[in-house]
Amino acid sequence: MQMFWNRGISLQIVQGMPLGSLIRLLAGNGFVVDKRYLGRLAYLIGIGVFNSILGSCERFFDGAEIDKIQLNHAPLFILGHWRSGTTHLHNLLSLDNEFSSPNVYQCLFPNHFIYSQVGSVALKFLAPDRRPMDNVSFSSRAPHEEEFALAALSLVSPYLRVIFPLTGHKWHTSLDLDKIPPDWRQAWKDAFIFFLKKLELSEGGRALLKSPPNTARVKHLLEIFPDAQFVHIVRNPYRVYLSTRNLWDKSFAKTRLQEPTKEFVQELILNWYLEMFELFDRDRALIPPGHLHELKFEDLEADPLAELERIYLALNLKNFDFLGEQAVKYLDSIKTYKKNIFDLDEKTKALVAERWEKNFNRYGYEI
C-alpha cells in the first residue's frame, strides 16, 4: 500500500530517532525549521515518541543479551561516492549467505529493531515500491545503508546536513570525523559497535556494510575494525554528478526541514565529492595489503560475474561459486530495469570537469 507515500508522507533520514535525540538535534540547529515543513516535523515528533517507547522496551527485555554479544568478524565495507553503483554492488554481494547486511527496517529503526522487527511488515504503508531517485526496487527486507542507523543513534552524520542544509554546518555533520569533537566521535564509534552487535544477534554472519560517507572514514573504521576489508567502486564523474543532483531533488528533498537554493545544493555536491576523495586518498595507505579492491561501475555493469570474481580473488573470499549462482538469478530478475537518463548542460559539464578534473584523470574517464 502506498497511501501514505501518495499523500506526501515518506520515510525520513532520522525515522528511528527517539524524541530526546530529536530535540537535541533541533536545539543544535537553533530550532530553525521552515514553516512549510512543520507537518514533517510533527511527524518526526510523533514517531520519536513511538521510538522512545519501543527503545525502552528493547533495553528492558533484550539489553543484557545485546551487551554480551561478541563481534568475531571484521566487516567488509563497500565504499564509493553516492550514485557510484554502491547499491547495485551491495545487492549482489549480499547474495552470499556468508554475509549479513542490515535491512531497511533495521537501519531505519535502530533503537528497537530487535524488539519490534516483527512489525517490519508495517513499513510498506510508508515506503514506496521503488526508490524515488533511481526506480530500484525497495522493501523492508532489502539491504540498506547503516548510515541512517548511525545518524539516529549517534547524532553524527553528514545526512543531518541534508535535514538542516542551512544550519547543519554548526552541528556534527562533517565528512571528516577528525573535525568532530572527540566525545561525539566516540559516541559514533560506540553506536557503530552497538548496531553491529544487534545485527549479529539478529542475523549472524559477517557484516557487509554500504555507506557512502564511510569512504571518508577509513582511518576511523580501521581503529574499530583493524582487520576490515574494503571494496571501492567508482563511476564516471559526469554520471555521478547528475545522479547525485537527482538524489537531492527526488529523495533528500522529502526529508529536509530547511529549504536550500539550487546553487547551494550544487556547491555542496561539488565540495563533498572533493572532500570525500581527499580523505580516502589520505587514509588508503593505512589499509593492509590484500584488504582493498577497487573497480569501476561501468565494468561491473558490463560483466558483473567477472568483476565479482575479481573481488573474491583480490580479498581471498571463499564463497564465489554460491554467489555466482545466486547472482545469475538476481541479474535475470532485474534485466528489464531501466536507468534514469539525465542531460548535462554545457555550463554545468564544464564546471564538473574543472572541479573534479583529478578524478577524471586518476580513474581514466574522458573529460
pTM for this prediction: 0.92
Domains of the chain (ranges plus CATH)?
3-362 (3.40.50.300)
Q: Is the pLDDT of residue 1 over 90?
A: no
- pLDDT at position 141 is 75
Cα-trace Rg, the chain: 20
- pLDDT at position 133 is 46
- pLDDT at position 207 is 98
Q: Averaged over 174-194, what is the pLDDT?
A: 97
Q: Is the pLDDT of residue 336 over 80?
A: no
Q: Averaged over 273-277, what is the pLDDT?
A: 98
Cell 555542496 maps to which residue?
268
Give the pairing type, strands 229-234 and 76-79.
parallel
Show Cβ contacts of residue 168 under 8 Å, excluding neighbours closer than 6 positions. Answer: 29, 160, 161, 162
- pLDDT at position 243 is 95
Contact 74, 225 (CB under 8 A): yes
Show Cβ contacts of residue 80 under 8 Å, excluding neighbours closer than 6 positions. Answer: 86, 89, 212, 215, 232, 233, 234, 235
CA atoms 277, 278, 281, 283: torsion sign:
negative
Contact 286, 219 (CB under 8 A): yes
DSSP letter assigned to residue 74: P
Tell me whether residue 196 is exposed, middle or buried, using C-beta atoms within 10 angstroms of its C-beta: 0 to 12, 13 to 18, 19 or more: buried
Q: In 3-state terms, what secondary structure has residue 299?
A: helix
Which cell numbers in the block locate residue 117? 522487527
Q: Averaged over 76-88, what is the pLDDT?
A: 97
Q: Which long-range contacts (CB under 8 A, 24 or more apart) does 184-191 make?
A: 184/154, 184/155, 184/156, 185/156, 185/220, 187/154, 187/155, 187/156, 188/150, 188/154, 188/156, 189/220, 189/223, 189/224, 190/154, 191/149, 191/150, 191/153, 191/154, 191/156
- pLDDT at position 3 is 39
CA–CA dist 6, 127 (Å, integer): 10
- pLDDT at position 215 is 98
101: region left, alpha or beta (phi > 0 left; psi from -120 to 50 alpha): beta
Burial profile 123-138: b = 16 or more Cβ within 10 angstroms, e = fewer: bbebbbeebbbbeeeb
Contact 172, 180 (CB under 8 A): yes
**pLDDT averaged over the chain?**
92
Contact 153, 102 (CB under 8 A): no
Q: Averaged over 114-134, what is the pLDDT?
A: 64
- pLDDT at position 112 is 97
Q: 12-21 pLDDT, tens per residue?
A: 999 999 999 9
Question: Which amino acid is located at 346 in the chain?
Answer: E
